[in-house]
Each structure stands twice: as structure tokens, then as C-alpha cells.
């Protein structure tokens, strides 16, 4: 009886798979036609708000038991493959491969995009601004360590927009060739990863020297050639560089996320669940910051984040980076920014974009 029922269920699964295959190819054919129309009309191929709309519609309509996170992952790959039929997207990112920035790229753009690793954040901005890459992905803040200041600074000198955001859970493992903690005589990792694992290192490898390198992937690369070395890196680095896991999830904060932004030249349209980012400098006067923020209070706008950075060319003057809920075309935000323009010494709109689904 059990074998017969298993056979029936397997037959049903095969039948569903056949229907899915047919539907995927019908979808791909429609995507090809969309790409043809976009090409003839000179329309942009990648539309972030359309992707966000698809994911929100499907997850809100999903009755289960199939989990929403898995549904989103599958549809991101379907969208990625469909886009590659229209025009493969090129994406610059803070490399090398197997870093968390690379994982953020794969999470958002899927396996079908063309990825171009860059040595630093500045090179990512340059690649996108010069048109070498369609988009760029860079880290902007971490839930444990705060903002990535260099990324903020780049917006002062580059005329690019934030087109989207990606949230990635950061889980650090300690890896080595042998997989044995007693063999570890030195540890390599990126300074931010080391900071996020400070307590674990103090408890378990207090006397072992720790070395900063440019990325967690570089740490894994060094560890694979040295049996006495260990790397603090992600699970993907272990697979790519052939390392064994000594301990998993050695970060001090279990709830550790990094927010990445997508930079480009397009301005996504309103989705109804958006975020807007700006930077501004206040005038040197009493109550300056209050005057800058008052229009947002008056227009009942929820500010998601505010950070300050010193202006490099002038001592004791600051730039403020502001994230708010809503789209630049929303009347309250438009009114608040108009008021801010009258009061600020300098203002730059960094973009409105769909919030993480």
C-alpha cells in the first residue's frame, strides 16, 4: 500500500514538473517578445519596480505550504534567466567572488547576470558611471558595525542613483584546510568580520595573531595554502576554496545583517513601498539641524536613518545622509524636500527605490 501511494505521488510530482517546464518556456517566450519591444522602443531592460511588484504579488497570494522565502529565491532566478534572454545584465561589485557582496548580487540579480568584481568601492562607482557595468552593488551599513563610510563618501563625487537595496544575513564561519582548531596558529579576515567575531576570538584563540586582509574571500584564499592558518569567512568561501569548517556562526551577534545598495543611472518608479535617500549639508547657524529636519516632521514622514559625515574639504562641517519611507513623487516627501532646499547649504537626491521585499 505504501509503495503504491509513493508511486502515485511521484507520478503527480512528475506531472506537475512537466507543466512547470511548459509554463516556464511560455514565460520565456513572452520575455523574449518584451525584450524585442523594449529594444525597438529604446526602453530600459531592467525595471526594478516591476520585479518588486512580481515578488510582492506572488508572496501575498501564496497560500502555502511552499515558504515565501523559497518562492522569492526561485522567482529571482526565473526573472534573472528571463532578463538574460532580453539582455544579460552586467553588475560590478566589491569583490572578489565568495564575499558577502557577491552573495548579495546573486540573491538579487540571480545566476544569469554577468558579474564583474572590483578591488574597491570607488572602482564599482567608476565602472557604473563609465557605462562598463549596468549596475553596481556595494555595502552601505551593517547592523553590528554601522555605516560603511567610504560608500557614503562616493556619492559626493559621483552622479549615480540608488536603484534598490539588498539585505543579507551575515554568518561567519572559521575555516581551514584541516578543520582542526588546534592547528590554527594565525587567523585572516576582513577587519569588519574580525570586529564582528571579537568575543569568539578572545574566548577561543586569544594568543593567536590575527591579520587584516582586504576581504573574507582573500582570507580563505590565503588559508587554503597554509595548514596553520584559518580564515573567518562565509560558507560560500569554504566551497569555492576547498576549506573545512572548524566552527559555524562564530559572529558575536546572531542577528547580524548587512544592507547593500544597488547603484545605477535609472530612477525606479513608485511601487507604494519605497524608500528615498538624500544627502545634505546644513548652514552654520543656531538650530541648523532642527531646521533641516522640521519639514519631515511637519509632513509626517518617517525617517528610517540619519548619519553624519565630516566634509573632507572643510574642518568641523558635516554632511548628513538621510533615509526616509516613501517615494520622491509622493506629495509629502516632495513638499519636505522643497522646504529643505530653501534651508540647506547643499542637497543631493540619491534616489527613490523599492524597499526590500
Domains, in order of start, for the chain:
2-85 (1.20.59.10), 88-170+257-264 (3.40.190.10), 173-247 (3.40.190.10), 274-354 (3.30.70.260)
- List per-residue pLDDT tens for the chain, 357 residues long: 688 889 899 999 999 999 999 999 999 999 888 888 888 888 887 888 888 899 999 999 999 899 999 999 999 999 888 888 877 889 999 878 888 899 899 989 988 899 999 988 999 999 999 999 999 999 998 766 666 777 888 888 899 999 999 998 888 999 999 999 999 999 999 888 898 899 999 999 999 999 999 888 889 999 999 999 999 998 888 888 999 999 999 998 877 788 999 999 999 999 999 999 999 988 777 778 888 899 999 999 999 989 887 776 665 477 889 999 999 999 999 999 999 998 888 899 999 999 986
Q: Tell the burial category of 285 from Cβ atoms under 10 Å away from its Cβ (0-12, 13-18, 19+).
A: exposed
Question: How far is residue 154's CA from residue 149's CA, in Å, rounded to a whole number?
Answer: 9
> Angle at CA 216, nearest 5°, toward 210 and 218?
90
Residue with cell 521585499: 357
Instruction: List, in order, residues 6 or more apart from 237 with CB less than 8 Å away.
Output: 98, 99, 175, 216, 217, 219, 220, 231, 243
- The closest of 43, 55, 65, 143 to 107, measured between CA atoms, is 55
In this structure, the strands spanning 186-189 and 173-176 are: unpaired
Helix (H, G, I), strand (E, B) or coil at 309: strand
* Orientation of helix 68-86 relative to helix 2-41, angle to 10°: 40
Contact (Cβ atoms closer than 8 angstroms) between residue 75 and residue 68: no
C-alpha cell at 121: 568601492
Q: How many residues can be counted in the chain?
A: 357
Residue 204 and residue 83 in contact, taking contact as beta carbons nearer than 8 Å: no
CB 190 within 8 A of CB 212: yes
pTM equals 0.84
Rg (the chain; Cα; Å): 23
Q: How many CB atoms lie within 10 A of CB 198?
A: 12
* Cα separation, 292 vs 282, whole angstroms: 7
CA distance 104 to 258: 9
Amino acid at each position: 500500500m505504501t509503495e503504491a501511494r509513493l508511486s502515485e505521488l511521484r507520478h503527480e510530482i512528475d506531472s506537475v514538473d512537466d507543466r512547470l517546464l511548459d509554463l516556464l518556456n511560455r514565460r520565456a517566450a513572452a520575455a523574449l517578445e518584451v525584450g524585442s519591444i523594449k529594444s525597438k522602443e529604446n526602453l530600459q531592460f531592467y525595471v526594478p519596480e516591476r520585479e518588486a511588484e512580481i515578488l510582492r504579488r506572488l508572496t501575498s497570494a501564496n497560500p502555502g505550504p511552499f515558504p515565501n522565502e523559497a518562492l522569492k529565491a526561485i522567482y529571482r532566478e526565473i526573472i534573472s534567466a528571463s532578463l538574460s534572454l532580453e539582455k544579460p545584465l552586467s553588475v560590478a561589485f566589491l569583490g572578489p567572488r565568495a564575499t558577502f557582496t557577491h552573495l548579495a548580487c546573486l540573491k538579487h540579480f540571480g545566476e544569469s547576470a554577468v558579474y564583474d568584481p572590483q578591488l574597491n568601492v570607488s572602482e564599482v562607482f567608476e565602472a557604473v558611471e563609465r557605462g562598463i557595468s549596468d549596475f553596481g552593488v556595494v555595502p552601505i551599513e551593517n547592523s553590528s558595525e554601522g555605516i560603511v563610510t567610504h560608500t557614503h563618501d562616493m556619492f559626493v563625487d559621483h552622479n549615480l542613483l540608488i536603484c534598490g537595496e539588498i539585505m543579507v544575513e551575515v554568518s561567519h564561519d572559521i575555516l581551514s584546510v584541516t578543520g582542526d582548531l588546534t592547528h590554527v596558529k594565525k587567523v585572516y579576515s576582513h577587519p569588519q568580520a574580525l570586529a564582528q567575531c571579537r568575543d569568539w576570538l578572545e574566548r577561543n584563540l586569544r594568543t593567536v595573531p590575527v591579520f587584516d586582509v582586504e576581504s573574507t574571500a582573500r582570507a580563505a584564499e590565503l588559508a587554503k595554502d597554509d595548514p596553520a592558518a584559518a580564515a573567518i569567512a562565509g560558507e560560500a568561501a569554504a566551497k569555492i576554496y576547498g576549506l573545512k569548517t572548524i566552527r559555524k556562526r562564530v559572529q558575536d551577534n546572531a542577528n547580524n545583517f548587512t544592507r547593500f545598495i544597488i547603484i545605477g543611472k535609472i530612477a525606479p518608479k513608485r511601487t507604494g513601498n519605497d524608500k528615498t535617500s538624500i544627502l545634505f549639508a546644513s548652514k552654520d547657524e543656531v538650530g541648523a539641524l532642527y531646521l533641516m529636519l522640521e519639514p519631515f516632521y511637519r509632513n509626517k514622514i518617517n525617517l528610517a536613518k540619519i548619519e553624519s559625515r565630516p566634509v573632507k574639504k572643510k574642518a568641523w562641517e558635516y554632511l548628513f545622509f538621510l533615509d526616509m519611507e516613501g517615494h520622491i513623487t509622493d506629495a509629502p516627501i516632495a513638499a519636505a524636500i522643497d522646504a529643505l532646499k530653501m534651508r540647506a547649504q547643499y542637497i543631493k537626491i540619491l534616489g527613490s527605490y523599492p524597499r526590500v521585499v
